[in-house]
Structures are given as C-alpha cells and as structure tokens.
Amino acid sequence: MKRFIFAILIIALTASYAFAWTPSKNVTVIVAYKAGSGTDNTARVLSKFAAEKIGKTIVIQNLEGGSGSIGWTALSQSRPDGYTLGFVNLPTLCSNIVEQLGDYKIDDFVPVCNHVNETAMVIVSKSCPFNTLGELITYAKENPGKLKASTNGMKASNHIGAELFAKSAGFQYMASPYGGTADQLLALRQGEVDFSVAKEADIASMTSEVKVLAVFSEKRLNAFPDVPTLGELGLYDKWYGSARAIVAPKGTAKEVIEFYEDAFKKAMEDPEYISAAEKAGVTTLYMNSEDTAKLIHQQYEFCTNEVSKLWE
C-alpha cells in the first residue's frame, strides 16, 4: 500500500511539473520610453540573459509618450496571457496615477519582480560654468527663475527630483519637460538648459559629457566617491531615485507570474549578466512579486503624501 501511495505521489508531481506553464511563442516586453533611454538600456541588458532562462525571444516594444502613460495604458489593456509584460518606472507610474495622467490604476498591473534601484543625481553639461552645487545654487538665488532644468516629463521621476532639490535649496527655476530621459539629457548636453536630475544608468554612456554635482543618497556612491550627497551639503537628506519593475496585465495567472519571477531571478543572478549590468551602470536589485507589490504601494503613498505637496 505504501509503495502504491508513493507511486501515485510521484505521478502527481510529475504531471504537475509537466503541465507547468511555459511560453510557446515569443514574449513582448513594453518599454514606455524611446529606444536609447535609461529604461530601454536597462531592459535590453536584462532581456538578453532573461531570454535564455525563458526559452523564447524577448521582443522589446518601445511605446513612448505622455511621461510613460502611452506605454502603460497599452500594457494595462493587453491580454493577460503571459505573452506581454512591461517595465514600469517608480515613482513616475504612481505619480501619473495620482495626477490622473493615464487611464490605468495600480491594480491594473500584477508585479513580477523588481529589476533595478537607481540613485538620482544633479548633473550639468561638461561645458557648464558650474563646478560645484554651491555655485549653481548661488547663481539660482541671485537670478530667481532664470535657471532652466530639463526633465523627463511633467511631474515624472526626474522632475520630482529637480523639485526636491530646488525646494530644499530654496531657489526657483524653470522646468522644461521632454518626452523622456534620452531627450532630456540631449537638451542638457546641447546647452538648452542649465541642469538636470537623472540616474546613474541614464548617464552611463555620456559620463565624458556631463558633470555630477551631487547625489540623492545617504552615503556617497561607489561609482562617484568624490561627489557629495545632498545631505552633506545641508539639503535633501533622504535617498531618492527610481526603481524599474517588471509587471504583467491584471488577470495574468499565478503560474505565469511564478514562471517569470523565477526566470528573471535566475537571469539577474547569472554572473555574465552581473558583469554586463555593471559595465552598463545598471544597479540591480531583485525583489520577488510580493515585495515588488509592497514597493509599488510605498511609492504610491510617497507620491500621494509627499510629491503632490511639491507643487502646492
């Protein structure tokens, strides 16, 4: 009898494994920003290695516009069949929802995992006369409203960073919104604006063209040991930056989420991925589905209770 029961258990476990969900065709991953943006670059670094674990080709689909809202609207309306995933940027996704800039809600997405967690930084072009944050602030205070900053969209992540910086330093500036981080940084490098707030991966390919004046961190970044934190300078003393998470449309089956959760975790633990990510300036921070859900809700609370007050 014991042998019979054991045999039944083996058959049941084997059958369960055999019928576990796996994709049978290529997987589309929506990136809500243009090719060459920070999100696009980090997505492509990961996708190369994740495709090996998933067993199918990952097709990046760039749907830029509306501070991410065009891509995230399309993602929220996609079939929950496991063949469409997407990257969401935090806090921008939550800020868009709070500001009602998109036709979607937090519950329209099912978290798969978090991918990166990047610290924001204040930057200027290499040709800019400001060599320290103090010089920039002094000029801004002596010339109220004259200083211009490019952002990745109205009330998007880098605009929030610029507001946190300006409010804590006590100066006024003019925000110039662009369609995404790639265009924002192009404007900075071309001299159209005076400063920007962006993340480490955003400037990885252009470090020779910009100067980093300060970082939004509680301690100095390993990659920029000589750059002070805002807190050191008596300004905003909390960490601020951006997380990029992978989500699926609402209604996606649990076994599908679990499949991708495991596949992306294995990809992010791959030594070759880790090496490629470091070269690309990608700060990997894997979180499982449950922890990513908590992160998204924390960011929503941050946007609701703190970010919304920046423009009061």
For 109-156, how does the pLDDT look when each residue is reduced to its tens digit (9 = 90+)? 999 999 999 999 999 999 999 999 999 999 999 999 999 999 988 888
Among 6-10, 28-32, 56-60, 92-96, the range scoring the smallest mean pLDDT is 6-10
Give me 272's structure tokens.
Answer: 């070759």
As a whole number, mean pLDDT of residues 273-288 equals: 93
Confidence at residue 94, expressed as pLDDT on a 0 to 100 scale: 95
Cβ-count burial of 12 within 10 angstroms (0-12 exposed, 13-18 middle, 19+ buried)? exposed
Q: What span, in angstroms and rounded, lies between the C-alpha atoms of 145 and 186?
A: 22
List every span in the chain annotated with CATH 3.40.190.150.
Answer: 24-117+241-311
Residue 156 CA, distance from chain mean position: 11
Average pLDDT taken over every residue of the chain: 92
pLDDT band at 15 (very low <50, low <70, confident <90, very high): very low
Residue 24 CA, distance from chain mean position: 28
Confidence at residue 201, expressed as pLDDT on a 0 to 100 scale: 81
Q: What is the SS3 assignment for 93?
A: helix
Work out the percent of the chain whose per-residue pLDDT is above 90. Answer: 79
Count, residues in the chain: 312
Confidence at residue 3, expressed as pLDDT on a 0 to 100 scale: 54
Whether residue 92 has pLDDT greater than 60? yes
List every span in the chain annotated with CATH 3.40.190.10.
Answer: 119-233
pLDDT band at 37 (very low <50, low <70, confident <90, very high): confident
Q: Which residue has the higher pLDDT, 66 or 293?
A: 293
Give me 159's structure tokens.
Answer: 């605009």
Confidence at residue 205, expressed as pLDDT on a 0 to 100 scale: 85
Q: Categorise residue 153: left if φ over 0, alpha if ψ from -120 to 50, beta otherwise.
A: left
Confidence at residue 66, expressed as pLDDT on a 0 to 100 scale: 86
Whether residue 13 has pLDDT greater than 50? no
As a whole number, mean pLDDT of residues 155-166 equals: 94
Q: Which of 142, 149, 232 is nearest to 184 (CA)?
A: 149
Work out the percent of the chain whose per-residue pLDDT is above 70. Answer: 94
DSSP string of 26-61? -EEEEESS-TTSHHHHHHHHHHHHHHHHHTS-EEEE
CATH code for the part of the protein at 119-233 = 3.40.190.10
DSSP string of 122-151? EEEETT-S--SHHHHHHHHHHSTTT-EEEE
pLDDT band at 175 (very low <50, low <70, confident <90, very high): very high
Helices (H) and strands (E) in the chain, counts: 10, 10
For 190, phi and psi rounded to 5 degrees? -85, 0
Per-residue pLDDT of 254-268, as tens digits, reads 999 999 999 999 999
Task: Using alpha carbons, list the distances in angstroms from residue 93 to 54, 160, 167, 182, 219.
Answer: 26, 12, 22, 18, 26
CATH 3.40.190.150, domain 24-117+241-311, yes or no: yes
Q: What span, in angstroms and rounded, lies between the C-alpha atoms of 77 and 75?
A: 5
